[in-house]
Amino acid sequence: MSNAIAPASAPSRRFRLRRCSFRFDGRQQSVKAARDWLDVRMNVTDVPEDTADAARLLLSELATNALAHTAGDDGGAFYVRAFFSPGRLRVEVRGAGGAAPAFPVPAPDPDSESGRGLLLVNALAARWGGFESGRGPGMYVELLWAQPGRKATPRLSSEIAR
């Protein structure tokens, strides 16, 4: 009879975080804090690294946009919500006041140092758009990736043409 203890087997799936949200102060430093917050949550899920890179970049764009349009004292606040499901991540950013962004995305002035964020969002996100809530307007992005044993979800031609 052996007294050896069998090693524990590694779990077959990573932790399944469904959704989470957080309020960030309306300061420029909060954009990095929001990226770090999302990064921690992506690290405990099955988000592939290239998708996580895109999610961090898109969150930076949406949070920066929310800061530019947020009302309130000392820069107000913005809120980030993330929804995780197999092969899909949805990130929402809502400012605490201000106006909803205009659609369709206008072409940026070639000499401008800003105005390209939504073009980047359009290039990287599978789906994106604006929404209104009882607490103010916001933007969302959705990122998709192939799951082992499943076909990748193609982008619709109407989504590509935005």
Task: Give the three-state DSSP class for 156.
Answer: coil
User: What is the predicted pLDDT for the residue at 115?
Assistant: 59
- Report the candidate in 78, 76, 74, 89 with the shortest Cα–Cα distance to residue 17: 89
User: Quick one: pLDDT at residue 12?
Assistant: 41
Question: Is the residue at 83 inside a domain?
Answer: yes
Q: What is the Cα–Cα distance from 76 to 40, expressed in whole angstroms?
A: 24
Supply the pLDDT for residue 137: 85
One-letter amino acid for residue 20 of the chain: C
Position 104 in a domain:
yes
Residue 14 in any domain: the answer is no
Residue 65, pLDDT score = 86
Q: What is the pLDDT of residue 157?
A: 43
Per the structure, the complete domain to which residue 42 belongs is given by 19-160
Q: What is the pLDDT of residue 108?
A: 57
The answer as to whether 4 is a domain residue is no
Could you give the number of structural domains in the chain? 1
**pLDDT at position 119:** 86
pLDDT of residue 6: 43
The predicted structure's pLDDT at residue 66: 87
What confidence score (pLDDT) does residue 140 get? 96
What is the model's pLDDT at position 121?
92
Residue 6 falls inside a structural domain: no
Task: Please check whether residue 123 lies inside any domain of the structure.
Answer: yes
The answer to whether 88 touches 140, Cβ cutoff 8 Å, is no
Residue 112 is predicted with a pLDDT of 57
Is residue 9 assigned to a domain?
no
Q: Which residues of the chain are under the pLDDT cut of 70?
A: 1-17, 70-75, 97-115, 149-162
